[in-house]
């Protein structure tokens, strides 16, 4: 059957047909849909884990027990899961284990554009890299056999353009793989030095075998042409090369970027006059070629920054530019922003008004950094707000009265808890604000341990944030409604002034949740509006300034009334009818 699928759906279909039984992941753009699609199959145990490390370890446990398993994450998630990954390389697997990782060149929705291929090299595990949905499906399906044959976890590397592009996939049927028995084997699975020393030898032997396999494996292929030019490429770059050159140049398409073949590359290079390596991000294949004594043209012509396209390649090869028409008037930028009625807005407004330094974190609420609120001072990685605030206050304890950390409910579960433990243990007067909107927002509404529901939407265990914070040792824990600006102001001022750590839980569900019903839109009484623009300081997309007065777009307004509470002249009213 032929079906148009995004790469992530194709991965999930491949894993499904390959006999996967357990998947555990933390959502992260552009990897999230892999696990969401797997959750649609009833014969797979699918879970959202609190973070990627837990997800990888759950996959490890399932593999140990004898079934095929996987975990999926975005590139920076692999940093979190790196600890289990590196030693999983030593233990190897029982049931096949696939680590799906999605890189985000051009940072459409990420804080950096690291290249995950470094992890495959460093952890000494094979990596597969598809270039479209059909390959994503095929590679995911055959990755299990590869994993079991070579007794190793396999990394399946996606990138945004493969993960989120739809192309046609010819799908098949699920293979029923009998569970392998669990047999106690300490020498393989107890990684204490005496055993790990021996397993490292196994890892090196495995790498040698994988290198040999890479020479003839079905993931790498040569496309011959009558040309002096040879291009080695992989992933989505392959599609751009084909778009520009069709079948007119020699192409070595790498589908297994680790370990890379040697003889295959040397033979390919020997058959061409000029050798190019075209790969997004870091020069991994290029460096490998140089180590083989070749002199390819690579990063001296192609940038290590951002995404490529057919245009990038056409330009590099001096192809004539396509004619374009551009308006002379500059289009103002349209950055993403917090939605109308977003519960984070009221809290951020209060922080900005009081000129508080805000150590931020990763999620929708990172958008509080945008003007006009400009309420965030730093964003590093998941969980860094809480631990970062502690460090900030250790360096300058006087800052405790004007500095806070903000972190979402899901991010707090992910890696904020340990930071809070550190605050309680090592003692700073920190004020941590948990922005609890009852969902993992930015990645598109995934459940998490605080929401009370699992990945299938069924009732599940629910972490009680207040009790958790108290159990950690924080005595001052209070809850505010971020729509209530006065309550926010009082809570923030009081908690910043006390001489002990405190947690403020700013609680209100995301307005985009289906069960959240919008109130009737508000309107501006033009006679009462004195054009002070105080409402505009909220940065609400529903409020604009038209013909000298504030104006509320009734199609966007959800009636949260935060602006109504702010207007000094009572000009914002509930619309009649």
Partner 1 sequence: MAASVMIVGVGGQGSLLASKLLGAVLVNEGYDVKVSEVHGMSQRGGSVETYVRFGDKVYSPIIAKGEADYILSFEKLEAARFSEYLKEGGEIIVNTQEIDPMPVITGAATYPENILEELKEKGVKIEDFDALKVAKQAGSAKAVNIVLLARLAKRFAISYDKWLEAIEKTVAPKFVEMNKKAFELGYNL
Please select the residue that binds partner 1; options are 331, 426, 499, 577, rule is CB under 8 A: 331
Q: Does 549 bind partner 1 (CB under 8 A)?
A: no
Structure tokens at 131: 């270039």
Distances (CA, A) of 576 to 31, 193, 522, 559: 45, 75, 9, 13
Q: For residues 82 and 137, is the Cβ–Cβ distance under 8 A? A: no
Told to check if 328 binds partner 1 by CB under 8 A, we report yes
- The verdict on 4 binding partner 1 (CB under 8 A) reads yes
Q: Is residue 355 near partner 1 by the rule CB under 8 A? A: no
Q: Does 248 bind partner 1 (CB under 8 A)?
A: no
Considering only 1, 2, 173, 461, the residue that binds partner 1 (CB under 8 A) is: 2
Please give, one letter per residue, the 3-state secondary structure of 204-261: HHHHHHHHHHHHHCCCCEEECCCCCEEEEEEHHHHHHHHHHHCCCCEEEEECCCECCC
How far apart are alpha carbons 491 and 66 in whole angstroms?
A: 52
DSSP 333-360: P----PPTT-THHHHHHHHHHTT-EEE-
Task: Examine residue 318 and tell whether it contacts partner 1 (CB under 8 A).
Answer: no
- Per CB under 8 A, the list member of 178, 293, 323, 568 interacting with partner 1 is 323
Q: Confirm or reject binding of residue 545 to partner 1 (CB under 8 A).
A: yes
Site for partner 1 in 25-64 (CB under 8 A): 29-30, 32-33
Smallest distance, partner 1 to C-beta of residue 143, A? 22
When asked if residue 298 is in the footprint of partner 1 (CB under 8 A), the reply is no
x-or-dash pattern for partner 1, window 144-183, by CB under 8 A? ----------------xx--xxxxx---------------
Q: Least distance in Å: CB of 553 to partner 1?
A: 8
Instruction: Give the strand order in the sheet containing 97-103.
Output: 45-48, 20-25, 68-74, 97-103, 154-159, 127-128
Asked if residue 548 binds partner 1 (CB under 8 A), the reply is: no
Is 78 a residue that touches partner 1 (CB under 8 A)?
A: no
CA distance 480 to 325: 52
Residue with tokens 């029982």, as numbered in its chain = 94
Question: Measured from the CB atom, is 17 or 36 closer to partner 1?
Answer: 36
Q: How far is the CB of 234 from partner 1 (least distance, A)?
A: 14
Stretch that binds partner 1, among 203-211, 253-261, 319-327, 484-492 (CB under 8 A): 319-327
Least gap, CB of 372 to partner 1 (angstroms): 5
* Minimum CB distance to partner 1, residue 146 (Å): 26
Q: Which of 224, 275, 222 is nearest to 252 (CA)?
A: 222
Residue 401 CB, nearest approach to partner 1 (Å): 29
Burial grade of 151 (CB within 10 A; 0-12, 13-18, 19 or more): middle
312 vs 310: CA distance, rounded Å = 5
Please list, residue by residue across 121-144, b when 16 or more beta carbons sit within 10 angstroms of its beta carbon and e when fewer do: bebbbbbbbbbbbbbbbbbbbbbb
Nearer to partner 1, 474 or 550 (CB): 550
The correct pick among 242, 288, 507, 508 for binding partner 1 (CB under 8 A) is: 242
Residues near partner 1 (CB under 8 A) are 2, 4, 29-30, 32-33, 108-109, 132, 160-161, 164-168, 236, 239-240, 242-243, 309-311, 314, 321-339, 364, 367, 370-372, 442-444, 536, 539, 541, 543-545, 555
């Amino acid at each position: 059957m032929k079906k148009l699928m995004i790469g992530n759906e194709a991965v999930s279909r491949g894993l499904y047909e390959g006999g996967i039984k357990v998947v555990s992941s933390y959502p992260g753009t552009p990897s999230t849909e892999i696990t969401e699609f797997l959750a649609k199959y009833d014969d797979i145990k699918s879970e959202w884990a609190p973070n990627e490390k837990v997800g990888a370890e759950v996959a490890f446990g399932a593999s140990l027990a004898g079934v095929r398993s996987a975990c999926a994450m975005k590139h920076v998630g692999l940093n979190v899961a790196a600890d289990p990954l590196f030693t999983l390389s030593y233990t190897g697997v029982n049931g096949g284990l696939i680590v799906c990782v999605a890189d985000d060149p051009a940072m459409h929705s990420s804080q950096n554009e690291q290249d995950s291929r470094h992890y495959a090299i460093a952890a000494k595990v094979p990596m597969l890299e598809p270039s479209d949905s059909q390959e994503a499906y095929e590679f995911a399906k055959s990755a299990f056999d590869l994993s079991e044959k070579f007794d190793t976890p396999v990394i399946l590397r996606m990138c945004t353009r493969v993960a989120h592009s739809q192309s046609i996939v010819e799908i098949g049927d699920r293979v029923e793989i009998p569970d392998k028995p669990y047999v106690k084997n300490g020498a393989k699975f107890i990684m204490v030095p005496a055993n790990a020393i021996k397993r490292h030898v196994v890892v090196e032997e495995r790498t040698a075998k994988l290198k040999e396999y890479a020479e003839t494996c079905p993931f790498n292929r040569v496309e011959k042409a009558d040309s002096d030019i040879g291009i080695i490429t992989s992933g989505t770059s392959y599609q751009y090369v084909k778009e520009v050159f069709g079948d007119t140049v020699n192409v070595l398409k790498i589908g297994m970027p680790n370990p890379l073949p040697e003889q295959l590359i040397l033979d390919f290079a020997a058959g061409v006059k000029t050798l190019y390596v075209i790969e997004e991000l870091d020069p991994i294949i290029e460096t490998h070629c140089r180590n083989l004594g070749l002199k390819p043209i690579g990063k001296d012509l192609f940038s290590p920054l951002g995404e490529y396209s057919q245009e990038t390649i056409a330009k590099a090869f001096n192809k004539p530019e396509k004619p374009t028409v551009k308006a002379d008037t500059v289009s103002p930028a349209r950055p993403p922003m917090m939605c109308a009625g977003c519960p984070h807005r009221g809290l951020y407004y209060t922080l900005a008004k009081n000129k508080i330094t805000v150590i931020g974190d990763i999620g929708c609420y990172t958008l509080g950094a945008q003007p006009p609120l400009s309420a965030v001072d730093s964003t590093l990685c998941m969980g860094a707000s809480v631990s970062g605030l502690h460090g900030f206050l250790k360096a300058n304890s006087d800052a405790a009265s004007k500095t806070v950390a903000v972190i979402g409910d899901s991010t707090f579960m992910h890696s904020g808890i340990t930071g809070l433990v550190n605050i309680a243990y090592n003692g700073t007067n920190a004020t941590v604000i948990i922005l609890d909107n009852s969902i993992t927002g930015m990645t598109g509404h995934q459940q998490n341990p605080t929401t009370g529901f699992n990945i299938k939407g069924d009732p599940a265990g629910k972490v009680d944030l207040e009790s958790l914070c108290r159990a950690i040792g924080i005595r001052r824990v209070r809850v505010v409604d971020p729509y209530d600006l006065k309550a926010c102001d009082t809570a923030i001022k009081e908690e910043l002034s006390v001489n002990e750590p405190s947690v403020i839980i700013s609680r209100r569900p995301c307005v985009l949740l289906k069960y959240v019903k919008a109130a009737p839109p508000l309107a501006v009484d033009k006679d009462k509006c004195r054009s002070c623009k105080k409402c505009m300081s909220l940065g609400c997309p529903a409020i604009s300034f038209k013909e000298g007065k504030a104006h509320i777009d009734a199609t966007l307004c959800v009636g949260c009334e935060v602006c109504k509470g702010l207007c000094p002249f009572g000009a914002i009213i509930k619309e009649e009818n």
